[in-house]
Amino acid sequence: MKVSVRRRIRPTIVAALAAGLMLTSCGDSGGSDSAADKLDCEHRATISGVAPPHAIDETWQSVFVDDFNRCELGENWSAYDGRPGGAKYGKWHPSMVSIDNGALRLHSRRDGDDWKIGGVSNWPVTQKYGRWEVRYKVQPNADISYHFLLWPQNEKWPPEIDFAEDVSSQRDGIAAFLHWKDGSTKRKANAHIAGDFTDWRTVGVEWAPGIVRYLLDGKVWAISRSPERAPTTPMWMGLQMGAGACQLREEWNMKPCTAVEPRPLESSVDIDWIAVYDVMTSYSSLAKSGYFDNAPDAVDLTDS
């Protein structure tokens, strides 16, 4: 198992965007907002070839689904602004977030010696326990990382659930992390899985009392079974890019970047859809049914 390292990236929310401020029109980075453009993007089919399910295995029922077939970010999202807490590299900027050709695009662009990067929060859709899924693909870039996570509504960190993040250049795997507090000590555990994430994949997480399960294309690949680790406070989802991945790999004693790794001046993450679910019955009945025991090939998160 490859072990990765996670740093905490804390968002700053742009309140104006929560009111539905337009960022960019579909398929037009210049911001055209003609009636024809809006009609086109509102009727565009899924671009990844897989639609978001509204129910899963008579177990999960969607409470929020977004396929981004429109021209505005919308009232259920906010774009990040400012430098991530504790970060040396990169600065979030609302211009790095757009709705483009039926997808939410988080963009990154070198700005002198720094980077402008995109990130969004789905903070209006907050719940305690549930299932979250994201359908996306990402471009190779050794300088840029990305992080899909659940963040506590009360802003008291930890806990944090990172269900897909990557600091590699080729996008050939993802790491999962879980952050919790043991008394006064902040702890974390992780796992890694290989795969090609330059093409469309679906990542996600199931979170229930005492358990967190990480998903890839609908299958459980990693698990943490621990009442002490599993969060017990409501959380919302954040989707964000990070900068300075090459420097961070060196700081974290990982394999350093090489001259042959891709380092373009721009790159992006395209998100076709996201879905948030709650159980159809109850979490106690789901546990009694043996549902959470049905992943024999999944690995356990390892303390790091």
Q: Lowest-confidence range among 110-114, 162-166, 249-253, 254-258?
A: 249-253
Question: Residue 304: what pLDDT?
Answer: 80
- The pLDDT tens digits for 67-116 are 999 999 999 999 999 988 777 889 999 999 999 999 999 999 999 989 99
Question: Residue 45: what pLDDT?
Answer: 67
Is the CB of residue 213 less than 8 Å from the CB of residue 222? yes
Question: Residue 113: what pLDDT?
Answer: 87
* C-beta atoms surrounding 251 within 10 Å: 12
Collapsed DSSP state (helix, strand, coil) of residue 213 = strand
Query: What letter does residue 248 receive in the DSSP assignment?
Result: H
Q: What is the mean pLDDT of the chain?
A: 87
Q: Lowest-confidence range among 38-42, 64-68, 78-82?
A: 38-42
User: Is residue 153 pLDDT above 70, yes or no?
Assistant: yes
Query: Which residue type does 197 have?
Result: F
* C-beta atoms surrounding 124 within 10 Å: 13
Question: Residue 26: what pLDDT?
Answer: 53
Calpha distance 65→43 (Å, rounded): 16
Question: Residue 17: what pLDDT?
Answer: 33
Question: Residue 44: what pLDDT?
Answer: 55
pLDDT category of residue 30 using cuts at 50, 70 and 90: very low
Question: Residue 96: what pLDDT?
Answer: 98
User: Is residue 20 pLDDT above 90, yes or no?
Assistant: no
For 39, the enclosing helix (H) or strand (E) is helix 35-42
